[in-house]
Amino acid sequence: MFGLLFSLKSFTAKLDPINGDNAGQAGKGCSFHSFKTNTYKLSYFETAAGVKFVLVTDPRMGDLREALRNIYSNIYVEYVSKNPIYTPGQPFRCELFESTLDAYVKSL
């Protein structure tokens, strides 16, 4: 899945008519945020620190970028980043994180 997202990201950055020359640099160039098929919609958010958030939902959902930002700042930062047992870069399982995330996503 990483390959798919990474290729989509570089593809959209290179196609950008305004910033196409700066595709490789951070801070300039665009990044894709969602794609839709007839059965699902995939929304994507990447932080400057490299953490990527992917949300797969019903295609009728509206723009989920704000929701993803909220998940990042209120749920991920609070329950994962601040968790002393967690080392960045490793896969993690954290029940509090999962339950808060569940509750939040159900409310969308």
Does residue 51 belong to the site contacting another protein (CB under 8 A)?
yes
Nearer to another protein, 3 or 60 (CB): 3
**Cβ–Cβ < 8 Å for 36, 44:** no
Report residue 97: phi and psi, to 5°: -60, -45
In the complex, the smallest distance separating the C-beta of residue 107 from another protein, rounded to whole angstroms, is 19
| The binder of another protein chosen from 2, 38, 58, 93 (CB under 8 A) | 2
d(CA 22, CA 69): 25
Pairing mode, strands 34-36 and 52-57: unpaired
Report residue 69: phi and psi, to 5°: -60, -40
Does residue 72 belong to the site contacting another protein (CB under 8 A)?
yes
Interface ranges with another protein (CB under 8 A): 2-3, 6, 25-28, 47-51, 69, 72-74, 76-77, 81-82, 86, 88
